[in-house]
Amino acid sequence: MPTETGGRSDLQTPNTPTGLPYGEHKKLHEAQQAVPLPRADLPSQVAAGNSLDQAHADAQATEFPPGGLLATLPPLDLPPTAGLPFGPGPGPEALSRQPQLRASDIFDQLAEAFGDPALAELAARTRSRGG
């Protein structure tokens, strides 16, 4: 097995062109050693059905509750200095009016959005610890 791939047979050995300007061949060779490419003759994750297109389709099919996590964001029409003691917009007193969102509330919303019982359990544990 080639030592340039750390003995792994699933990686290509570095293959750099010749005739490059001084030092370029070595830099390319070292770059390929640092991050070796998978061998082209092996089946890829895409061939196994784990494609980016499938992940994108799954993400778009996910329905989120209205508002949800984004409901806690401040209005977008406020200036960037809103909440600061200087510049345009309301000062620090405006920050105290916003309800505090607890970690357990966030986990509850995520559990509901994704239907994940592990997130629901995490929300319950966080809530029992006061979070």
pLDDT in tens, 57-91: 777 777 766 666 666 666 678 888 888 888 888 88
Verdict on whether the full-model pTM lies above 0.85: no
Domain limits for position 12: 3-34
State the DSSP string of the chain: --GGGTT-TTBPPP---SSPSTTHHHHHHHHHHHSPPBPTTSPPTTTTT--HHHHHHHHHH----SSGGGGGSPPTTS-TTTTSSSSSS--GGGGGGSPPPPHHHHHHHHHHHHT-HHHHHHHHHHHHTT-
- 27 lies in the same domain as 73: no
Domain assignment of residue 41, yes or no: no
Number of domains in the chain: 2
Domain assignment of residue 88, yes or no: yes
pLDDT top residue among 114 and 131: 114
Confidence of residue 17 (pLDDT cuts 50, 70, 90): confident
- 124 lies in the same domain as 72: yes
Domain assignment of residue 85, yes or no: yes
